[in-house]
Chain A
């Protein structure tokens, strides 16, 4: 039976992983994701699950160990944050190109320097193009759901790709929230046993991660890209099955009070919950504003976005990372390129907020919407604005 339990979200992520009975967990501690592998190591040590917890000396080794374990046919999990993810970077595109369904939780944290342990999205954005499925949770319940869904999606025969679940460092990892946990039986009904496509084993010879000459590389990359693009079908299917079994809906882009909205906010991650409060307040003031919460980052939901923005005059895209020297924040650049040339495309403005754990309040979103509402009459001077920066 599903039970409602209050706990720290990082612990909840670990409990959700345990429900999926992984064979191998390899991780190296780094704030703010640490409580996830820490709690998993407790669960393994207490004998609650029959998994190997590999204590490694670095994140590079953590993902390398996961890569090898997954190639051997193990259900595999890891977690990291910030510079830890960058230390995994060398292995990131290898895991996806080898089509190994490793699941990873990323407790999103700013990249140094200056050293900062708090939240923004610069870590995952740096790994955007590595070929992983990437989802963003906006609260603890979504973390629990996405972990369990994550194994099913990643391991699906038509997918076989690694998947990362992004949860904002501290804003989510360290927050205590009541969450619904399915029981073991329910999880097993939802998540089939992992049947690997091929495994490295002395009796069944296979080579993985071999040399690819120029005359094969285009085709190999196209196949990898199509694997990720086509995974969307399975993601939507798994989310539908989840809704049927557990009653909670998941969508690539979740719309909140968007009916008749002139101005739409688009957020990623936990700031979506704060933005909802702002939208309620604006609606009370008869301001037609709505919210789009982007949950599926890779593969990017192009059609869903095009549909979701129809009718809006202004779209204000929130980024929690700077693409230094670029044309916009990473999310906005993606949104702009997806909507370029679309008939009736709204004016798109970009605000970069909440860097390195800077607080983002409902009042900030109200001000952003009010500012953005003027953008269809008067184009902002800058392509993007680091909102609230002192000196602007």
Chain B
């Protein structure tokens, strides 16, 4: 019952592919899927937290000043936050 990184061979696969290290999904950076990133214009933000609630990835957090930021290691670029932000504080910017 050891925790290991990706098994190199089938013999190293944990029985039943069981995972014994909780929360290790965070090791997988879904941000690599992204083709657009959310850019926040805090001058329009009313700190309602709607973006935080709607983000399917749960990667938006509140900073010390009460504004919201997306963790780009995990943000998939779906644009839901921009769609839901009714004051229009978030724009999706094409990744280069």
Query: Could you tell me if B20 and A97 are in contact, using CB atoms closer than 8 angstroms?
Result: no
Which residues of chain B have C-beta atoms less than 8 A from A98's C-beta? 16-18
Binary per-residue interface labels of chain B (17-33) against chain A in the complex, 1 for a CB within 8 Å, 0 otherwise: 11110100100000000
CB-based nearest A residue for B12: A219
The size class of the interface chain B forms with chain A is 10 to 19
Query: Could you tell me if B17 and A160 are in contact, using CB atoms closer than 8 angstroms?
Result: no
Which of the 9-residue segments B3-11, B36-44, B50-58, B70-78 touches chain A? B3-11
How many angstroms between the C-alpha atoms of A210 and B13 in the bound complex?
13
B58 to chain A, nearest CB (A): 16
Query: Could you tell me if A219 and B15 are in contact, using CB atoms closer than 8 angstroms?
Result: no
The size class of the interface chain A forms with chain B is 20 to 34
Which residues of chain B have C-beta atoms less than 8 A from A219's C-beta? 7, 9-10, 12-13
Is A212 part of the contact surface with B, judged by Cβ < 8 Å?
A: yes
Contact of B16 among A97, A211, A215 (CB under 8 A): A97
Query: Could you tell me if A205 and B20 are in contact, using CB atoms closer than 8 angstroms?
Result: yes
Query: Could you tell me if B20 and A206 are in contact, using CB atoms closer than 8 angstroms?
Result: yes
Contact of B18 among A198, A215, A222, A226 (CB under 8 A): A198
Is B64 part of the contact surface with A, judged by Cβ < 8 Å?
A: no
How many angstroms between the C-alpha atoms of A100 and B1 in the bound complex?
16
How many angstroms between the C-alpha atoms of A212 and B7 in the bound complex?
12
* Known interface pairs A98-B16, A197-B16, A219-B7; 18 further A-B residue pairs with C-beta atoms within 8 A, sorted by A's residue number: A97-B17, A99-B15, A198-B15, A205-B20, A206-B20, A208-B16, A211-B25, A212-B17, A215-B6, A216-B6, A219-B12, A219-B13, A220-B10, A220-B13, A220-B17, A222-B13, A223-B10, A223-B17
Q: Which residues of B contact A (CB under 8 A)?
A: 1, 6-7, 9-13, 15-20, 22, 25
Q: Which residues of A contact B (CB under 8 A)?
A: 97-100, 160, 197-198, 205-212, 215-216, 218-220, 222-223, 226
